[in-house]
Structure 1
Amino acid sequence: MDRKERLKQVMIDEAETIRKVAERVDYNVMSQITELLCQVKKNSKKVILAGCGTAGQAAKRIAHTLSVVEIPAFFLSPADSIHGGLGAMQQGDILILLSKSGNTQEILNYIPAAQKKGLTVIGVTENENSKLGQAVDIVLKIKIDREPDKWGIISSASTLASISAFDAIAFTAMEETGYTKEEFYLIHTGGGVGDILRKEL
């Protein structure tokens, strides 16, 4: 396979992975998560996300998207969490932990404090029988057939699938909470999006 064909194949593989996950994912679980997130702002609570490595980058992206649709959210670094950062977690908040294997120790470290403080803990993993899957309140299973790199192990398509699932959750919650363009413009005056909103409003 020449270079151009390989480049195209990776993109096709990633797109196909998201399509397959869309067929397999448990929409009852996604609906349950959506309902919880719809209540966050109304109840003056927040969403805290965490992950390591590539999962951490996905967690940051999801936190940003939730904030964009007025669901207060932020990423809490695993390194900072065990040095006092867990103090940001308060009763009634929602904690979303991403770990492909479900056995990442830095992510499991959040659970004891979260449970004692009375948070709802959501685990995003491919293995519902993992330590994470067994410890959390809600498991969103995101499992793929194979990553598109030559070894099939570098988290990439699986990460995109997790992000896609939470895009679906965030945009559904945005509609259900009645989020308006006027509210969006209040927090997004910059860039091309700000220019579009300014013209429309």
Structure 2
Amino acid sequence: MNNTIKEVIIKESKELEHISNTLDYQKVTELCDLLVKCKGNIFITGCGTSAMAAKKAVHTLNVINQKAFYLNPSDAVHGELGAVSANDIVIFISKGGNTKELTSFIKNVKDKQAYMVAVTENESSVIASNSDLIIKVKVEAEADQFNMLATSSTLAVISLFDGIAVTLINKEKFNKKEFLGNHPSGAVGERLKEENMK
């Protein structure tokens, strides 16, 4: 059992290294610039495990003062699309890029003239084909024996957005006082309070 767990961790770490060498950093930088300049809100959407990655990205962006919201696909087509406007950025996270729950409201997002971003491994997918910017995140293999469980690919997407968040901290000169204002509780909050008192 311990060997299996260790193997998975090693596989995932290798895939992160692979992603670090294959990402189109020019496009990632373009996304960073768009997020900084965004006059509206940032919406991130996804289904299944991609939804979990989207929620993690939303949380991290909110911590550093970027107004981000998770757009639930099922709620989106039942009225929540009313929150999306022309000043917004809508990021679609989808490994295959053809998820029906997501493709069902692409036209609505485009009609609202929001800027559309695809984070996917499939550049010829429906979502990618309709996006203004495509960030390709493709791992060589998932960590499970079937090469199907969204493991390494999900970790790669989360890592991408972690990198984006740290980049935005530098661009926006986000400081620890602001960090404390957004994150007053938990071990992080306590540490920030201690450092703020020095």
- Does TM, normalized by the shorter one, top 0.5? yes
Pairing partner for 2:20 from 12, 22, 34: 22
Indicate the residue corresponding to 1:46 in structure 2: 41
Indicate the residue corresponding to 1:100 in structure 2: 95
**Structure 2 CA distance for aligned equivalents of residues 36 and 138 of structure 1:** 10
Q: Residue by residue, what CA displacement relative to the aligned partner does 1:85-113 show, whole Å, maximum 9, x if unpaired?
A: 11110111000001100100111123111
Indicate the residue corresponding to 1:137 in structure 2: 132
| Superposed CA RMSD | 0.8
Indicate the residue corresponding to 1:7 in structure 2: 5
**Structure 1 CA distance for aligned equivalents of residues 27 and 68 of structure 2:** 20
Pairing partner for 2:123 from 113, 125, 128: 128
Q: Residue by residue, what CA displacement relative to the aligned partner does 1:24-52 show, whole Å, maximum 9, x if unpaired?
A: 01000100000011123xx3x11001100
**Structure 1 CA distance for aligned equivalents of residues 113 and 35 of structure 2:** 16
Q: TM-score, normalised by structure 1?
A: 0.95
Indicate the residue corresponding to 2:171 in structure 1: 176
Indicate the residue corresponding to 1:86 in structure 2: 81
**Structure 2 CA distance for aligned equivalents of residues 31 and 50 of structure 1:** 20
Identity %: 36
Q: TM-score, normalised by structure 2?
A: 0.97
Counterpart code for 2:106: I
**Structure 2 CA distance for aligned equivalents of residues 147 and 79 of structure 1:** 27
Q: Return 5+ residue gaps in structure 2 as ranges.
A: none
Indicate the residue corresponding to 1:155 in structure 2: 150
Counterpart code for 2:111: K
Flag as ranges the 4+ runs of structure 1 deviating above 6 A: none
5 Å-filtered alignment, 1:71-82, equals 71-82=66-77
Deviation at 1:129, TM superposition (A): 0.6
Indicate the residue corresponding to 1:31 in structure 2: 29
Deviation at 1:173, TM superposition (A): 1.0
**Structure 2 CA distance for aligned equivalents of residues 193 and 142 of structure 1:** 30
